């Protein structure tokens, strides 16, 4: 059996001692191998030693800077898609060299090589992320200019996608609105009108903007009322979900997640952040919750990673009161959780968070209502929930889990699961 990480290292070694035509072939092969690396294999490859080695190859003229940039951008692209986090590039001799090159190129008064500067910025952001505010004014104008290109050729779409994906790596850093807001709003609006971005580029634009809310709450109105985030996310997830073969067995998928699967995972993480940080809501959120319940239904058998982030999202939605308990019932979330925890292949994580959600729903329905109208609505909701749970054999399911409540609390270092069964039941 060929170990992909060893194959990648072998190809890099061979890259040192071959001609230009062969180098192109080797780099294409390396690109394919990188895409096939699973998370663990990628971690074993993505090291300081790797980047120090590439730096030596550049120094010894065994790898041109042009080829190095192509290879590194592809590494950064794969790193972003795999949601892999590492500081190894910034700690390497190559990372330090790139940092100096960016500053030197930007400070040139004449004959500034803008394309070279963009390549350097994309590489650094994709591989490391820029953590100092002094760099914001260097890379932001250039990358946003690339991301704002309107041509619809595949080559330009790829450039736009790469620029937006690089900007995602600014994480939650505080960045002045005047450096990005009008451009990113225009990029999202244009896609909403003309559908001109790739799915990854679209999700990246949204991730970048949602991440800014962490340090600037004034963006909520733009996100909810002007750009209609929930509506946009619902549409994007619906399209992506149709591209996934949800019945594909786990073993068949091992280490071979499709781009659509990875983008869905990223979208749900982003929506969870949105629910955590944004207090402003509108009626479009219901459609989004329904869409994610549908994904949980589809993913529960063979897609544990996606199932887990869906459960995380519903947990946050309840905690932040983004949706009421009766709303989760009408959206299909309760159905999805019940089916999920009754799966023969149930994992501890899903069991723990699924039971926490059911306990929160029960607690919410038992809570004191503020007025008579709300009390009447609450009783009606309780009747619906009770009927649904009774049909699903809910009480028997909870009872069957009762013996492991204590184990799950210890397993996840929590005390969230009450040992009292009545805390999970809904009485009319």
Weakest-pLDDT range from 215-224, 247-256, 280-289: 247-256
For residue 368, what is the DSSP state? Answer: P
Q: Is 115 exposed, middle or buried (0-12, 13-18, 19+ CB in 10 A)?
A: exposed
**Is residue 370 scored above 60 in pLDDT?**
no
How is 302-324 classified by DSSP, letter by letter? T-HHHHHHHHHHHHHHHHTTSS-
What the block records as the tokens of 184 is 């990113």
Rounded mean pLDDT, 162-183: 90
Please report where in the chains the tokens 């990005």 appear, as a residue.
180
Summarize pLDDT for 24-79 with one digit per residue, the tens. 899 999 999 998 888 888 999 999 999 999 999 999 999 999 999 999 999 999 99
pLDDT band of residue 1 (cuts 50, 70, 90) is very low
User: Which of 19-33, 228-242, 354-368, 400-414 shows the highest mean pLDDT?
Assistant: 228-242
Weakest-pLDDT range from 90-104, 194-208, 311-325: 311-325
Q: What is the pLDDT of residue 19?
A: 84
Q: What is the pLDDT of residue 412?
A: 76
Q: What is the pLDDT of residue 92?
A: 94
Cα radius of gyration rounded to whole Å, the chain: 24
Q: What is the pLDDT of residue 2?
A: 61
Summarize pLDDT for 117-157 with one digit per residue, the tens. 999 999 999 998 766 777 888 899 999 999 999 998 999 99
Percent of the chain with pLDDT over 70: 89
Q: What is the pLDDT of residue 428?
A: 56
Q: What is the pLDDT of residue 12?
A: 92
Sign of the CA dihedral with 162 first, then 163, 168, and 170 last: positive
* Average model confidence (pLDDT) across the chain: 86
How is 326-393 classified by DSSP, letter by letter? HHHHHHTHHHHHHHHHT-TT--HHHHHHHHHHHHHHHHHHHSPPSSHHHHHHHHHHHHHHHHHHHHTT
Contact 265, 279 (CB under 8 A): no
Rounded mean pLDDT, 300-304: 83
Please report where in the chains the tokens 């294409």 appear, as a residue.
28
Summarize pLDDT for 376-419 with one digit per residue, the tens. 666 676 676 666 666 666 777 778 887 788 888 888 777 778 88
Q: What is the pTM of this model?
A: 0.87
Residue, of 83 and 221, whose pLDDT is higher? 221
Q: What is the pLDDT of residue 385?
A: 63
Rounded mean pLDDT, 330-359: 78
In 108-228, where does DSSP find H-type helix?
A: 114-127, 136-147, 154-168, 181-194, 199-213, 220-221
CA 195 to chain centre: 21
Q: What is the pLDDT of residue 392?
A: 65
**Is residue 250 scored above 50 in pLDDT?**
yes
pLDDT band of residue 167 (cuts 50, 70, 90) is very high
């Amino acid at each position: 059996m060929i170990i992909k990480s060893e194959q990648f290292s072998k190809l890099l070694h061979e890259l040192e001692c071959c001609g230009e035509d062969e180098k192109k072939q080797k780099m294409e092969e390396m690109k394919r191998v990188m895409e096939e690396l699973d998370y663990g294999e990628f971690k074993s490859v993505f090291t300081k030693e790797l980047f120090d080695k590439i730096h030596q190859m550049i120094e010894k003229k065994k790898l041109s800077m042009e080829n190095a940039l192509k290879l590194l951008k592809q590494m950064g692209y794969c790193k972003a898609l795999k949601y892999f986090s590492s500081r190894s590039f910034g700690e390497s001799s190559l990372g330090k060299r790139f940092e100096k090159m960016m500053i030197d190129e930007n400070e040139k008064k004449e004959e500034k090589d803008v394309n070279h500067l963009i390549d350097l910025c994309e590489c650094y952001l994709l591989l490391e992320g820029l953590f100092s505010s002094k760099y914001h004014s260097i890379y932001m104008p250039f990358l946003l200019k690339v991301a704002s290109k309107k041509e619809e050729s595949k080559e330009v779409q790829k450039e736009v996608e790469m620029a937006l994906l690089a900007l995602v790596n600014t994480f939650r850093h505080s960045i002045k609105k005047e450096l990005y807001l009008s451009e990113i709003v225009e990029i999202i609006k244009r896609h909403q009108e003309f559908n001109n971005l790739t799915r990854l580029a679209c999700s990246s634009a949204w991730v970048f903007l949602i991440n800014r809310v962490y340090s600037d709450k004034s963006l909520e109105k733009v996100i909810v009322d002007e750009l209609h985030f929930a509506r946009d996310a619902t549409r994007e997830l619906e399209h992506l979900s149709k591209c996934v073969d949800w019945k594909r067995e786990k073993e068949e998928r091992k280490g071979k997640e499709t781009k659509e699967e990875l983008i869905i995972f990223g979208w749900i993480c982003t929506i969870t952040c949105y629910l955590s940080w944004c207090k402003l809501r509108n009626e479009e959120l219901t459609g989004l919750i329904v869409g994610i319940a549908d994904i949980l239904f589809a993913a529960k058998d063979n897609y544990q990673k996606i199932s887990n982030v869906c459960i995380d999202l519903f947990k946050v939605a309840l905690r932040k009161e983004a949706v009421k308990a009766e709303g989760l019932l009408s959206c299909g979330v309760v159905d999805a959780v019940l089916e999920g925890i009754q799966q023969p292949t149930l994992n501890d994580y899903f069991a723990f968070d699924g039971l926490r959600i059911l306990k929160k729903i029960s607690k919410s329905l038992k809570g004191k209502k503020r007025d008579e109208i709300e009390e009447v609505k609450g009783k009606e909701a309780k009747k619906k929930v009770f009927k649904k749970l009774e049909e699903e054999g809910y009480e028997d399911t909870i009872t069957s889990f009762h013996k492991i409540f204590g184990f799950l609390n210890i397993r996840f270092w929590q005390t969230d699961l009450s040992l009292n069964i009545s805390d999970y039941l809904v009485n009319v």
